Amino acid sequence: MNGPRSCSRDFPGTIEAASDAESWIASQASALGLGQEVEFAIGLCLEEVFLNAVKHGHANRATISMCAEPHAVIVVFADDGAPFDPTLATAKRISSPAQDFEIGGYGTGLMQKFSRRMSYSRFEGMNHLVLEFDARHKTGPDPLNAP
């Protein structure tokens, strides 16, 4: 990859739009030449952020921007929902079998695990969450499909 490449798209603040956002993210990750591991990490984190913004923040609209740099992918999720800084939220740890834990509160931990850096700001009535991921471009066998 020669230099930064970016893309951005607006979405309505609906549960249904989360699926559209996930498909868009996958297509952009592929177009940017990112591997499946990075695509999965970005998709998982943004699905969590998107659904929380709609369900809990009552967002009416959201914008997702992706910028691929030589060694990082910067993703910005902006929404007009209630102010919420996930960088200050306490992440729950999964310490029991899946069937025993309660749903909710794990999103922050997922974002911390899969992103390299996470920052938040609020301006012009919008939440802005910036997530930075390692850029593992398609250069050889995908580690998810390795023997």
Residue 142 is assigned to a structural domain of this protein: no
Residue 146 is assigned to a structural domain of this protein: no
Residue 147 is assigned to a structural domain of this protein: no
Tell me the percentage of the chain whose pLDDT exceeds 90.
59
DSSP single-letter state for residue 91: P
Whole-number Å distance between alpha carbons of 77 and 64: 5
- Which is more confident, 54 or 135? 54
Average pLDDT, integer, range 10-38:
92
Tens digits of residue pLDDT in 47-89: 999 999 999 999 999 999 999 888 899 999 999 999 999 999 8
Supply the pLDDT for residue 139.
46
Query: How would you classify the pairing of strands 61-68 and 72-79?
Result: antiparallel
Residue 116 is assigned to a structural domain of this protein: yes
Tens digits of residue pLDDT in 101-125: 454 566 788 888 889 999 999 999 9
Average pLDDT, integer, range 24-42:
90
Whole-number Å distance between alpha carbons of 45 and 36: 14
CATH classification of the domain holding 77: 3.30.565.10
The boundaries of the domain holding residue 78 are: 5-134
Residue 9 is assigned to a structural domain of this protein: yes
Residue 57 is assigned to a structural domain of this protein: yes
Residue 52 is assigned to a structural domain of this protein: yes
Q: Which helix (H) or strand (E) holds 79?
A: strand 72-79
**Into how many domains does the chain fold?**
1
